[in-house]
Structure 1
Amino acid sequence: MGYIGPTIRDIRTNKGLSAKYMYNDIMSRVNYSRFESGKIDTSAENLMEMLKRINLMMFEFANLSGRDTAAAVAETDRMTQLVAEGHATKNPENFREASRIVYKSWQEEGYVADHDMYLTMKVYADFYAHHGQVIDAMPELRDLLNYLDKTETWYSYEQMMLYNLLPILSVDELLILLPLYLQRINKVSQMDANMATIGEIFVQAFQVAINHRDYGVFKKLLGMFNETHIQERYMAPHFYRRLYNDYANYYDKKDNACLSEVESMLATVRKLDFPSYYPQLANTALSLHVWLADDAPSLKDVETNG
Protein backbone atom coordinates (compact mmCIF):
# COMPACT_ATOMS: atom_id res chain seq x y z
CA MET A 1 0.00 0.00 0.00
CA GLY A 2 1.18 3.55 -0.73
CA TYR A 3 2.11 5.94 2.06
CA ILE A 4 1.78 9.19 0.07
CA GLY A 5 -2.03 9.26 -0.09
CA PRO A 6 -2.58 8.67 3.64
CA THR A 7 -0.05 11.41 4.43
CA ILE A 8 -1.88 13.83 2.13
CA ARG A 9 -5.15 12.88 3.86
CA ASP A 10 -3.71 13.60 7.31
CA ILE A 11 -2.36 17.00 6.24
CA ARG A 12 -5.61 17.89 4.45
CA THR A 13 -7.79 17.06 7.45
CA ASN A 14 -5.45 18.91 9.82
CA LYS A 15 -5.82 22.00 7.62
CA GLY A 16 -9.61 21.59 7.51
CA LEU A 17 -9.74 21.16 3.73
CA SER A 18 -12.36 19.11 1.90
CA ALA A 19 -11.51 16.11 -0.26
CA LYS A 20 -13.26 17.80 -3.19
CA TYR A 21 -10.93 20.78 -2.90
CA MET A 22 -8.03 18.36 -3.34
CA TYR A 23 -9.27 16.18 -6.19
CA ASN A 24 -11.19 18.75 -8.25
CA ASP A 25 -9.73 18.88 -11.80
CA ILE A 26 -7.10 16.29 -10.81
CA MET A 27 -8.87 12.94 -10.49
CA SER A 28 -12.27 11.43 -9.81
CA ARG A 29 -13.77 11.28 -6.32
CA VAL A 30 -13.54 7.46 -6.35
CA ASN A 31 -9.87 7.41 -7.36
CA TYR A 32 -9.05 10.11 -4.84
CA SER A 33 -10.66 8.06 -2.10
CA ARG A 34 -8.55 5.09 -3.16
CA PHE A 35 -5.47 7.35 -3.25
CA GLU A 36 -6.01 8.68 0.28
CA SER A 37 -6.54 5.14 1.58
CA GLY A 38 -3.19 4.09 0.09
CA LYS A 39 -4.63 1.68 -2.49
CA ILE A 40 -3.22 3.60 -5.48
CA ASP A 41 -0.52 6.23 -6.06
CA THR A 42 -0.61 9.22 -8.39
CA SER A 43 1.66 11.01 -10.85
CA ALA A 44 4.34 13.52 -9.83
CA GLU A 45 2.35 16.27 -11.60
CA ASN A 46 -0.79 15.47 -9.58
CA LEU A 47 1.19 15.37 -6.35
CA MET A 48 2.76 18.76 -7.07
CA GLU A 49 -0.70 20.28 -7.63
CA MET A 50 -2.00 18.76 -4.39
CA LEU A 51 0.96 20.16 -2.46
CA LYS A 52 0.25 23.60 -3.89
CA ARG A 53 -3.34 23.34 -2.67
CA ILE A 54 -2.22 22.53 0.87
CA ASN A 55 0.58 25.13 0.64
CA LEU A 56 3.37 22.69 1.38
CA MET A 57 6.83 22.49 -0.15
CA MET A 58 8.02 19.18 -1.58
CA PHE A 59 10.95 18.90 0.80
CA GLU A 60 8.59 19.50 3.74
CA PHE A 61 6.27 16.79 2.48
CA ALA A 62 9.21 14.44 2.00
CA ASN A 63 10.23 14.96 5.61
CA LEU A 64 6.68 14.26 6.77
CA SER A 65 6.04 11.26 4.58
CA GLY A 66 9.52 9.79 4.13
CA ARG A 67 10.21 6.30 5.29
CA ASP A 68 13.40 7.41 7.05
CA THR A 69 12.67 10.81 8.55
CA ALA A 70 15.95 11.02 10.47
CA ALA A 71 17.91 10.46 7.26
CA ALA A 72 15.80 13.04 5.40
CA VAL A 73 16.40 15.65 8.11
CA ALA A 74 20.13 14.93 8.15
CA GLU A 75 20.25 15.25 4.37
CA THR A 76 18.41 18.56 4.47
CA ASP A 77 20.75 19.87 7.18
CA ARG A 78 23.78 18.84 5.12
CA MET A 79 22.39 20.58 2.04
CA THR A 80 21.74 23.75 4.03
CA GLN A 81 25.31 23.71 5.38
CA LEU A 82 26.85 23.14 1.96
CA VAL A 83 24.86 25.96 0.36
CA ALA A 84 25.57 28.44 3.16
CA GLU A 85 29.30 27.70 3.11
CA GLY A 86 29.32 27.73 -0.69
CA HIS A 87 27.83 31.22 -0.85
CA ALA A 88 30.18 32.48 1.85
CA THR A 89 33.32 31.09 0.17
CA LYS A 90 32.07 31.20 -3.44
CA ASN A 91 33.27 27.63 -3.75
CA PRO A 92 31.70 25.67 -6.63
CA GLU A 93 32.63 22.35 -4.99
CA ASN A 94 30.03 22.89 -2.29
CA PHE A 95 27.32 23.14 -4.91
CA ARG A 96 28.65 20.16 -6.84
CA GLU A 97 28.42 18.05 -3.71
CA ALA A 98 24.95 19.43 -2.97
CA SER A 99 23.88 18.55 -6.52
CA ARG A 100 25.06 14.96 -6.01
CA ILE A 101 23.06 14.65 -2.79
CA VAL A 102 19.83 15.96 -4.27
CA TYR A 103 20.33 13.99 -7.50
CA LYS A 104 20.52 10.78 -5.47
CA SER A 105 17.31 11.74 -3.68
CA TRP A 106 15.61 12.48 -7.00
CA GLN A 107 16.66 9.12 -8.41
CA GLU A 108 15.39 7.28 -5.34
CA GLU A 109 12.11 9.13 -4.73
CA GLY A 110 11.28 10.77 -8.05
CA TYR A 111 10.18 14.13 -6.59
CA VAL A 112 10.01 16.91 -9.17
CA ALA A 113 11.27 19.46 -6.63
CA ASP A 114 14.44 17.41 -6.10
CA HIS A 115 15.08 17.50 -9.84
CA ASP A 116 14.67 21.28 -9.93
CA MET A 117 16.94 21.70 -6.91
CA TYR A 118 19.52 19.50 -8.64
CA LEU A 119 19.44 21.85 -11.64
CA THR A 120 19.72 24.88 -9.33
CA MET A 121 22.78 23.44 -7.58
CA LYS A 122 24.41 22.74 -10.97
CA VAL A 123 23.76 26.32 -12.07
CA TYR A 124 25.31 27.74 -8.88
CA ALA A 125 28.35 25.50 -9.23
CA ASP A 126 28.85 26.84 -12.74
CA PHE A 127 28.17 30.42 -11.60
CA TYR A 128 30.94 30.35 -9.00
CA ALA A 129 33.30 28.33 -11.20
CA HIS A 130 33.10 31.09 -13.82
CA HIS A 131 33.41 34.01 -11.39
CA GLY A 132 29.80 35.15 -11.46
CA GLN A 133 28.66 33.96 -14.88
CA VAL A 134 26.51 31.02 -15.92
CA ILE A 135 28.16 29.41 -18.95
CA ASP A 136 28.17 25.62 -19.05
CA ALA A 137 24.91 25.30 -17.07
CA MET A 138 22.91 27.72 -19.20
CA PRO A 139 20.59 24.93 -20.50
CA GLU A 140 19.72 24.00 -16.90
CA LEU A 141 19.02 27.63 -16.03
CA ARG A 142 16.82 27.95 -19.12
CA ASP A 143 14.81 24.90 -18.03
CA LEU A 144 14.13 26.49 -14.64
CA LEU A 145 13.22 29.87 -16.11
CA ASN A 146 10.94 28.24 -18.68
CA TYR A 147 9.09 26.47 -15.89
CA LEU A 148 8.45 29.78 -14.14
CA ASP A 149 7.41 31.45 -17.38
CA LYS A 150 4.83 28.76 -18.15
CA THR A 151 3.35 28.51 -14.66
CA GLU A 152 0.26 30.71 -14.48
CA THR A 153 -0.06 30.90 -10.68
CA TRP A 154 2.96 30.96 -8.39
CA TYR A 155 2.70 29.28 -5.01
CA SER A 156 5.38 28.67 -2.39
CA TYR A 157 7.28 26.32 -4.69
CA GLU A 158 7.69 28.88 -7.48
CA GLN A 159 8.39 31.62 -4.96
CA MET A 160 11.30 29.70 -3.48
CA MET A 161 12.62 28.86 -6.93
CA LEU A 162 12.63 32.54 -7.91
CA TYR A 163 14.29 33.55 -4.63
CA ASN A 164 17.04 30.97 -5.19
CA LEU A 165 17.63 32.04 -8.78
CA LEU A 166 17.54 35.83 -8.38
CA PRO A 167 21.23 36.34 -7.47
CA ILE A 168 22.41 34.68 -10.69
CA LEU A 169 19.99 36.31 -13.13
CA SER A 170 20.99 38.88 -15.68
CA VAL A 171 19.33 42.27 -15.35
CA ASP A 172 17.21 41.50 -18.43
CA GLU A 173 15.99 38.22 -16.93
CA LEU A 174 15.31 39.99 -13.65
CA LEU A 175 13.10 42.61 -15.29
CA ILE A 176 11.08 39.86 -16.96
CA LEU A 177 10.61 37.61 -13.94
CA LEU A 178 9.91 40.14 -11.21
CA PRO A 179 6.77 41.59 -12.88
CA LEU A 180 5.62 38.02 -13.59
CA TYR A 181 6.04 37.23 -9.92
CA LEU A 182 3.98 40.24 -8.87
CA GLN A 183 1.20 39.26 -11.30
CA ARG A 184 1.13 35.55 -10.56
CA ILE A 185 1.95 35.17 -6.87
CA ASN A 186 -0.81 33.55 -4.87
CA LYS A 187 -1.14 35.80 -1.83
CA VAL A 188 -2.11 32.87 0.39
CA SER A 189 1.44 31.60 0.15
CA GLN A 190 2.60 34.78 1.87
CA MET A 191 1.25 33.24 5.07
CA ASP A 192 3.87 30.47 4.88
CA ALA A 193 6.46 31.34 7.52
CA ASN A 194 9.16 29.46 5.60
CA MET A 195 8.78 31.45 2.39
CA ALA A 196 10.34 34.70 1.30
CA THR A 197 7.88 37.57 1.41
CA ILE A 198 7.29 40.11 -1.36
CA GLY A 199 9.60 42.56 0.36
CA GLU A 200 12.34 39.97 0.73
CA ILE A 201 12.06 39.08 -2.95
CA PHE A 202 12.54 42.76 -3.80
CA VAL A 203 15.60 43.03 -1.55
CA GLN A 204 17.11 40.03 -3.32
CA ALA A 205 16.30 41.59 -6.69
CA PHE A 206 17.93 44.92 -5.80
CA GLN A 207 21.18 43.13 -5.07
CA VAL A 208 21.35 42.16 -8.75
CA ALA A 209 21.14 45.81 -9.80
CA ILE A 210 23.72 46.77 -7.17
CA ASN A 211 26.12 44.01 -8.25
CA HIS A 212 25.80 45.09 -11.89
CA ARG A 213 25.87 48.79 -10.93
CA ASP A 214 22.98 49.39 -13.30
CA TYR A 215 21.20 52.53 -12.14
CA GLY A 216 18.51 52.30 -14.81
CA VAL A 217 17.48 48.88 -13.49
CA PHE A 218 17.81 50.15 -9.92
CA LYS A 219 15.30 52.94 -10.63
CA LYS A 220 12.90 50.54 -12.38
CA LEU A 221 13.00 48.22 -9.39
CA LEU A 222 12.49 51.18 -7.06
CA GLY A 223 9.43 52.27 -9.00
CA MET A 224 7.93 48.77 -8.70
CA PHE A 225 8.87 48.50 -5.02
CA ASN A 226 7.34 51.87 -4.14
CA GLU A 227 4.10 50.95 -5.93
CA THR A 228 3.81 47.55 -4.23
CA HIS A 229 1.97 47.29 -0.94
CA ILE A 230 3.99 45.15 1.45
CA GLN A 231 2.46 43.84 4.62
CA GLU A 232 5.45 42.09 6.06
CA ARG A 233 5.99 39.94 9.11
CA TYR A 234 9.51 41.44 9.29
CA MET A 235 10.61 45.07 9.40
CA ALA A 236 13.69 44.59 7.24
CA PRO A 237 12.05 45.22 3.81
CA HIS A 238 10.70 48.55 5.06
CA PHE A 239 14.21 49.60 6.14
CA TYR A 240 15.63 48.56 2.77
CA ARG A 241 12.97 50.44 0.82
CA ARG A 242 13.81 53.60 2.72
CA LEU A 243 17.53 53.01 2.12
CA TYR A 244 17.06 52.58 -1.64
CA ASN A 245 14.94 55.72 -1.86
CA ASP A 246 17.45 57.78 0.14
CA TYR A 247 20.33 56.84 -2.15
CA ALA A 248 18.29 57.35 -5.31
CA ASN A 249 17.28 60.79 -4.06
CA TYR A 250 20.88 61.67 -3.25
CA TYR A 251 22.11 60.46 -6.63
CA ASP A 252 19.43 62.42 -8.48
CA LYS A 253 19.43 65.60 -6.35
CA LYS A 254 22.78 65.63 -4.51
CA ASP A 255 20.93 66.45 -1.32
CA ASN A 256 23.11 65.66 1.70
CA ALA A 257 20.01 65.48 3.89
CA CYS A 258 19.31 62.10 2.25
CA LEU A 259 22.57 60.71 3.59
CA SER A 260 21.79 62.08 7.03
CA GLU A 261 18.54 60.11 6.85
CA VAL A 262 20.56 56.96 6.07
CA GLU A 263 22.83 57.49 9.08
CA SER A 264 19.84 58.19 11.31
CA MET A 265 18.05 55.04 10.19
CA LEU A 266 21.12 52.84 10.67
CA ALA A 267 21.65 54.27 14.14
CA THR A 268 18.01 53.54 15.01
CA VAL A 269 18.21 49.95 13.74
CA ARG A 270 21.40 49.34 15.70
CA LYS A 271 19.91 50.92 18.83
CA LEU A 272 16.78 48.76 18.55
CA ASP A 273 19.11 45.74 18.50
CA PHE A 274 17.90 43.92 15.41
CA PRO A 275 20.95 41.64 15.16
CA SER A 276 19.83 39.97 11.95
CA TYR A 277 19.00 43.28 10.28
CA TYR A 278 21.78 45.71 11.06
CA PRO A 279 24.92 44.08 9.60
CA GLN A 280 23.32 43.26 6.25
CA LEU A 281 21.58 46.62 6.08
CA ALA A 282 24.85 48.38 6.87
CA ASN A 283 26.72 46.39 4.22
CA THR A 284 24.08 47.31 1.65
CA ALA A 285 24.31 50.97 2.66
CA LEU A 286 28.08 50.92 2.19
CA SER A 287 27.73 49.28 -1.23
CA LEU A 288 25.23 51.92 -2.28
CA HIS A 289 27.39 54.69 -0.83
CA VAL A 290 30.46 53.62 -2.82
CA TRP A 291 28.38 53.32 -5.98
CA LEU A 292 25.94 56.26 -5.78
CA ALA A 293 27.55 58.66 -3.30
CA ASP A 294 31.27 58.35 -3.91
CA ASP A 295 31.52 62.15 -3.94
CA ALA A 296 30.12 62.40 -0.39
CA PRO A 297 31.82 61.89 2.99
CA SER A 298 31.83 58.35 4.36
CA LEU A 299 28.95 57.17 6.51
CA LYS A 300 29.51 57.80 10.21
CA ASP A 301 29.65 55.07 12.85
CA VAL A 302 28.69 52.24 10.51
CA GLU A 303 29.67 48.74 11.58
CA THR A 304 29.36 45.76 9.24
CA ASN A 305 29.88 42.02 9.34
CA GLY A 306 32.64 42.28 6.78
Structure 2
Amino acid sequence: MNNIGPLIKKIRTDKNLTQKIVSTGIMSRSHLSELENGKYFPSYEKMLGLLQNLDISLMEFQTELDNNYSLKDRIYTETTNRLSTEQKIDELADYLEKTFTPEVAKKSIRLQIKRLNMLGLIELTQSNHITIENYQPIFNYLLSCKNWHEFEIRTLANSIFLADFEVAKVLANQFEEKAKKLNFKNYMDKVILFFSNLAELALRKGEYQLALRYAKKAQRKAYDNKKIYYLLIANVLANLSDLKLNVADNTYMQEITKNIAIFRTLSYPAVADSLQNLVDLILTSNM
Protein backbone atom coordinates (compact mmCIF):
# COMPACT_ATOMS: atom_id res chain seq x y z
CA MET A 1 0.00 0.00 0.00
CA ASN A 2 1.29 3.46 -0.91
CA ASN A 3 1.68 5.34 2.38
CA ILE A 4 3.23 8.50 0.91
CA GLY A 5 -0.08 9.95 -0.33
CA PRO A 6 -1.96 9.53 2.95
CA LEU A 7 0.94 11.12 4.83
CA ILE A 8 0.91 14.13 2.47
CA LYS A 9 -2.83 14.46 3.11
CA LYS A 10 -2.29 14.29 6.88
CA ILE A 11 0.42 16.97 6.82
CA ARG A 12 -1.70 19.15 4.51
CA THR A 13 -4.78 18.94 6.73
CA ASP A 14 -2.69 19.39 9.90
CA LYS A 15 -1.40 22.64 8.40
CA ASN A 16 -4.94 23.60 7.29
CA LEU A 17 -3.85 23.88 3.64
CA THR A 18 -6.12 23.28 0.67
CA GLN A 19 -5.31 20.92 -2.19
CA LYS A 20 -5.21 23.96 -4.48
CA ILE A 21 -2.49 25.65 -2.41
CA VAL A 22 -0.33 22.52 -2.15
CA SER A 23 -0.66 21.55 -5.82
CA THR A 24 -0.08 25.05 -7.26
CA GLY A 25 2.80 25.07 -9.75
CA ILE A 26 3.43 21.36 -9.25
CA MET A 27 0.51 19.33 -10.56
CA SER A 28 -3.24 19.52 -11.03
CA ARG A 29 -5.48 19.41 -7.97
CA SER A 30 -7.00 16.17 -9.27
CA HIS A 31 -3.55 14.54 -9.46
CA LEU A 32 -2.88 15.58 -5.85
CA SER A 33 -6.21 14.05 -4.87
CA GLU A 34 -5.24 10.80 -6.61
CA LEU A 35 -1.85 10.87 -4.85
CA GLU A 36 -3.44 11.37 -1.44
CA ASN A 37 -5.63 8.35 -2.11
CA GLY A 38 -2.74 6.14 -3.19
CA LYS A 39 -3.71 6.07 -6.87
CA TYR A 40 -0.87 8.19 -8.28
CA PHE A 41 2.84 8.58 -7.61
CA PRO A 42 4.70 11.76 -8.63
CA SER A 43 8.17 12.16 -10.08
CA TYR A 44 11.00 12.99 -7.68
CA GLU A 45 10.99 16.64 -8.80
CA LYS A 46 7.23 17.00 -8.24
CA MET A 47 7.58 15.37 -4.85
CA LEU A 48 10.14 17.98 -3.82
CA GLY A 49 7.79 20.71 -5.06
CA LEU A 50 4.91 19.38 -2.99
CA LEU A 51 7.06 19.25 0.12
CA GLN A 52 8.15 22.84 -0.49
CA ASN A 53 4.50 23.92 -0.72
CA LEU A 54 3.82 21.97 2.48
CA ASP A 55 6.74 23.81 4.14
CA ILE A 56 8.37 20.57 5.26
CA SER A 57 11.87 19.35 4.46
CA LEU A 58 12.55 16.07 2.72
CA MET A 59 14.30 14.83 5.85
CA GLU A 60 11.34 15.73 8.07
CA PHE A 61 8.98 14.00 5.67
CA GLN A 62 11.15 10.86 5.63
CA THR A 63 11.19 10.86 9.45
CA GLU A 64 7.40 10.99 9.49
CA LEU A 65 7.32 8.20 6.94
CA ASP A 66 9.75 6.10 8.98
CA ASN A 67 7.33 6.14 11.90
CA ASN A 68 5.12 3.90 9.77
CA TYR A 69 7.97 1.96 8.13
CA SER A 70 6.49 -1.54 7.89
CA LEU A 71 8.16 -4.81 8.77
CA LYS A 72 7.77 -5.91 5.15
CA ASP A 73 9.58 -2.79 3.96
CA ARG A 74 12.44 -3.57 6.34
CA ILE A 75 12.64 -7.08 4.90
CA TYR A 76 13.31 -5.65 1.41
CA THR A 77 16.21 -3.61 2.79
CA GLU A 78 17.62 -6.35 4.99
CA THR A 79 17.43 -8.97 2.22
CA THR A 80 19.27 -6.78 -0.29
CA ASN A 81 21.87 -5.92 2.35
CA ARG A 82 22.48 -9.60 3.04
CA LEU A 83 22.73 -10.60 -0.62
CA SER A 84 25.10 -7.75 -1.45
CA THR A 85 27.31 -8.43 1.58
CA GLU A 86 27.50 -12.11 0.63
CA GLN A 87 28.34 -11.13 -2.96
CA LYS A 88 25.36 -13.12 -4.29
CA ILE A 89 24.90 -10.75 -7.21
CA ASP A 90 22.84 -13.04 -9.47
CA GLU A 91 20.49 -13.82 -6.60
CA LEU A 92 20.26 -10.11 -5.81
CA ALA A 93 19.36 -9.30 -9.42
CA ASP A 94 16.65 -11.96 -9.38
CA TYR A 95 15.27 -10.56 -6.10
CA LEU A 96 15.04 -7.03 -7.55
CA GLU A 97 13.32 -8.32 -10.67
CA LYS A 98 10.75 -10.59 -9.01
CA THR A 99 10.22 -9.31 -5.47
CA PHE A 100 11.68 -5.87 -4.79
CA THR A 101 10.13 -4.44 -7.96
CA PRO A 102 9.84 -0.79 -9.08
CA GLU A 103 6.22 -0.81 -7.86
CA VAL A 104 7.34 -1.86 -4.40
CA ALA A 105 10.06 0.80 -4.36
CA LYS A 106 7.48 3.53 -5.05
CA LYS A 107 6.22 3.16 -1.48
CA SER A 108 8.95 5.38 -0.04
CA ILE A 109 11.98 7.44 -0.97
CA ARG A 110 14.05 5.15 1.23
CA LEU A 111 13.06 2.09 -0.82
CA GLN A 112 13.59 3.91 -4.13
CA ILE A 113 17.12 4.86 -3.15
CA LYS A 114 17.88 1.39 -1.82
CA ARG A 115 16.74 -0.28 -5.03
CA LEU A 116 18.74 2.15 -7.20
CA ASN A 117 21.81 1.51 -5.05
CA MET A 118 21.49 -2.25 -5.54
CA LEU A 119 20.90 -1.90 -9.28
CA GLY A 120 24.12 0.10 -9.50
CA LEU A 121 26.04 -2.57 -7.59
CA ILE A 122 24.72 -5.22 -9.97
CA GLU A 123 25.64 -3.17 -13.05
CA LEU A 124 29.17 -2.48 -11.81
CA THR A 125 29.76 -6.11 -10.81
CA GLN A 126 28.39 -7.62 -14.00
CA SER A 127 29.77 -5.17 -16.54
CA ASN A 128 32.44 -3.12 -14.70
CA HIS A 129 30.54 -0.07 -15.95
CA ILE A 130 28.14 2.48 -14.44
CA THR A 131 25.38 4.30 -16.35
CA ILE A 132 25.71 7.36 -14.13
CA GLU A 133 22.51 9.13 -15.18
CA ASN A 134 20.39 6.19 -13.95
CA TYR A 135 21.43 6.88 -10.37
CA GLN A 136 21.31 10.68 -10.27
CA PRO A 137 18.06 10.72 -8.18
CA ILE A 138 20.09 9.38 -5.24
CA PHE A 139 22.40 12.39 -5.36
CA ASN A 140 19.60 14.86 -6.07
CA TYR A 141 18.15 13.72 -2.76
CA LEU A 142 21.44 14.10 -0.87
CA LEU A 143 22.16 17.52 -2.38
CA SER A 144 18.68 18.72 -1.43
CA CYS A 145 19.06 17.86 2.27
CA LYS A 146 20.01 20.72 4.56
CA ASN A 147 21.47 18.31 7.11
CA TRP A 148 22.42 14.65 6.98
CA HIS A 149 21.63 12.02 9.57
CA GLU A 150 22.01 8.24 9.69
CA PHE A 151 20.04 7.43 6.53
CA GLU A 152 21.86 10.10 4.51
CA ILE A 153 25.30 9.05 5.77
CA ARG A 154 24.58 5.40 4.96
CA THR A 155 23.27 6.34 1.53
CA LEU A 156 26.29 8.55 0.87
CA ALA A 157 28.78 5.84 1.83
CA ASN A 158 27.03 3.03 -0.02
CA SER A 159 26.17 4.93 -3.20
CA ILE A 160 29.04 7.34 -3.89
CA PHE A 161 30.59 4.90 -6.39
CA LEU A 162 27.53 5.54 -8.60
CA ALA A 163 28.04 9.31 -8.73
CA ASP A 164 29.45 11.48 -11.45
CA PHE A 165 32.93 12.35 -10.20
CA GLU A 166 32.23 16.10 -10.12
CA VAL A 167 29.08 15.45 -8.08
CA ALA A 168 31.07 13.17 -5.77
CA LYS A 169 33.58 15.96 -5.12
CA VAL A 170 30.76 18.38 -4.30
CA LEU A 171 29.29 15.86 -1.85
CA ALA A 172 32.72 15.36 -0.27
CA ASN A 173 33.02 19.12 0.29
CA GLN A 174 29.48 19.25 1.69
CA PHE A 175 30.30 16.39 4.02
CA GLU A 176 33.29 18.23 5.45
CA GLU A 177 31.20 21.36 5.96
CA LYS A 178 28.34 19.46 7.63
CA ALA A 179 30.80 17.52 9.80
CA LYS A 180 31.79 20.81 11.44
CA LYS A 181 28.23 21.18 12.78
CA LEU A 182 26.97 17.59 13.11
CA ASN A 183 28.22 14.65 15.13
CA PHE A 184 28.92 11.70 12.83
CA LYS A 185 30.70 9.57 15.44
CA ASN A 186 27.80 7.12 15.70
CA TYR A 187 28.17 6.38 11.98
CA MET A 188 31.97 6.16 11.85
CA ASP A 189 32.04 2.90 9.87
CA LYS A 190 30.04 4.58 7.12
CA VAL A 191 32.13 7.76 7.26
CA ILE A 192 35.29 5.71 6.72
CA LEU A 193 33.61 3.72 3.95
CA PHE A 194 32.57 6.99 2.29
CA PHE A 195 36.14 8.28 2.07
CA SER A 196 37.42 4.86 0.96
CA ASN A 197 34.85 4.74 -1.82
CA LEU A 198 35.75 8.30 -2.79
CA ALA A 199 39.40 7.28 -2.99
CA GLU A 200 38.54 4.34 -5.23
CA LEU A 201 36.42 6.57 -7.46
CA ALA A 202 39.28 9.06 -7.75
CA LEU A 203 41.71 6.25 -8.61
CA ARG A 204 39.41 5.05 -11.38
CA LYS A 205 39.30 8.63 -12.73
CA GLY A 206 43.09 8.98 -12.66
CA GLU A 207 42.94 11.68 -9.95
CA TYR A 208 45.74 10.14 -7.89
CA GLN A 209 46.56 13.12 -5.68
CA LEU A 210 42.90 13.48 -4.73
CA ALA A 211 42.63 9.72 -4.23
CA LEU A 212 45.55 9.89 -1.81
CA ARG A 213 43.88 12.71 0.12
CA TYR A 214 40.63 10.75 0.51
CA ALA A 215 42.45 7.51 1.37
CA LYS A 216 44.47 9.26 4.07
CA LYS A 217 41.25 10.61 5.60
CA ALA A 218 39.90 7.06 5.70
CA GLN A 219 43.18 5.81 7.16
CA ARG A 220 43.23 8.40 9.92
CA LYS A 221 39.60 7.87 10.92
CA ALA A 222 39.97 4.07 10.85
CA TYR A 223 43.15 4.24 12.95
CA ASP A 224 41.71 6.69 15.49
CA ASN A 225 38.57 4.56 15.91
CA LYS A 226 40.40 1.18 15.90
CA LYS A 227 38.55 -0.06 12.80
CA ILE A 228 41.09 -2.62 11.58
CA TYR A 229 39.00 -3.94 8.67
CA TYR A 230 38.56 -0.47 7.20
CA LEU A 231 42.16 0.48 7.99
CA LEU A 232 43.44 -2.38 5.83
CA ILE A 233 41.28 -1.24 2.91
CA ALA A 234 42.40 2.37 3.34
CA ASN A 235 46.03 1.21 3.47
CA VAL A 236 45.66 -0.48 0.09
CA LEU A 237 44.02 2.60 -1.44
CA ALA A 238 46.60 5.01 -0.01
CA ASN A 239 49.56 2.90 -1.13
CA LEU A 240 48.01 2.39 -4.56
CA SER A 241 47.62 6.16 -4.92
CA ASP A 242 51.21 6.71 -3.79
CA LEU A 243 52.40 4.05 -6.23
CA LYS A 244 50.76 5.82 -9.18
CA LEU A 245 52.35 9.07 -8.05
CA ASN A 246 55.77 7.48 -7.42
CA VAL A 247 56.06 4.52 -9.77
CA ALA A 248 59.73 3.93 -9.02
CA ASP A 249 59.16 3.26 -5.30
CA ASN A 250 58.54 -0.48 -4.84
CA THR A 251 57.78 -0.20 -1.11
CA TYR A 252 54.19 0.84 -1.93
CA MET A 253 53.56 -2.38 -3.84
CA GLN A 254 54.97 -4.37 -0.94
CA GLU A 255 52.51 -2.67 1.43
CA ILE A 256 49.62 -3.34 -0.94
CA THR A 257 50.49 -7.02 -1.18
CA LYS A 258 50.89 -7.31 2.60
CA ASN A 259 47.50 -5.76 3.38
CA ILE A 260 45.65 -7.86 0.81
CA ALA A 261 47.36 -10.97 2.21
CA ILE A 262 46.04 -10.11 5.68
CA PHE A 263 42.49 -10.24 4.34
CA ARG A 264 43.15 -13.75 2.99
CA THR A 265 44.63 -14.81 6.33
CA LEU A 266 41.54 -13.47 8.11
CA SER A 267 39.28 -15.46 5.74
CA TYR A 268 37.98 -12.56 3.68
CA PRO A 269 38.83 -13.94 0.22
CA ALA A 270 36.13 -11.95 -1.59
CA VAL A 271 37.46 -8.66 -0.17
CA ALA A 272 41.02 -9.66 -1.06
CA ASP A 273 39.99 -10.57 -4.62
CA SER A 274 38.07 -7.31 -5.03
CA LEU A 275 41.05 -5.24 -3.87
CA GLN A 276 43.45 -7.20 -6.06
CA ASN A 277 41.20 -6.64 -9.08
CA LEU A 278 41.19 -2.92 -8.35
CA VAL A 279 44.97 -2.86 -8.03
CA ASP A 280 45.39 -4.73 -11.32
CA LEU A 281 42.95 -2.37 -13.06
CA ILE A 282 44.63 0.81 -11.81
CA LEU A 283 48.15 -0.40 -12.50
CA THR A 284 47.30 -1.27 -16.10
CA SER A 285 45.47 2.02 -16.64
CA ASN A 286 47.07 4.64 -18.89
CA MET A 287 45.56 7.56 -16.96
Pick from 172, 178, 189: which aligns with 2:166? 172
Aligned twin of 1:49:
60
Identity %: 12
How large is the Cα RMSD of the aligned pairs?
Answer: 4.3
Aligned twin of 2:185:
190
In structure 2, the residue corresponding to 1:175 is in which secondary structure? helix
Aligned twin of 2:104:
104
**Contact 1:250–1:293 under 8 Å retained in 2:** no
Aligned twin of 2:194:
201
AA in 2 matched with 1:167: F
In structure 2, the residue corresponding to 1:146 is in which secondary structure? helix
Deviations 1:100-142 (A, max 9, x none): 27x43754xxx4423444555666678789873427xx3x633
In structure 2, the residue corresponding to 1:188 is in which secondary structure? coil
TM-score (norm: length of structure 2) = 0.59
In structure 2, the residue corresponding to 1:143 is in which secondary structure? helix
Which shifted more, 87-96 or 281-290? 87-96
- Deviation of 1:220 after TM superposition, in Å, equals 0.6
AA in 2 matched with 1:113: R
Relative distance call for 1:292 and 1:270 in structure 2 (3 A) is same
Aligned twin of 2:278:
287
**Contact 1:83–1:98 under 8 Å retained in 2:** no
Deviations 1:259-290 (A, max 9, x none): 2233344445555x3x34x6414531453145
AA in 1 matched with 2:60: E
Separation in 1, partners of 2:106, 2:74: 15
AA in 1 matched with 2:275: T
Aligned twin of 1:132:
129
AA in 2 matched with 1:207: E
**Contact 1:148–1:158 under 8 Å retained in 2:** yes
Question: Gaps (5+ residues) in structure 2?
Answer: 1-14, 16-53
AA in 2 matched with 1:163: A
TM-score (norm: length of structure 1) = 0.56
Pick from 213, 216, 231: which aligns with 1:223? 213
Stretches of 4+ moved more than 6 A in 1? 122-131
- Deviation of 1:227 after TM superposition, in Å, equals 5.0
Aligned twin of 1:114:
111
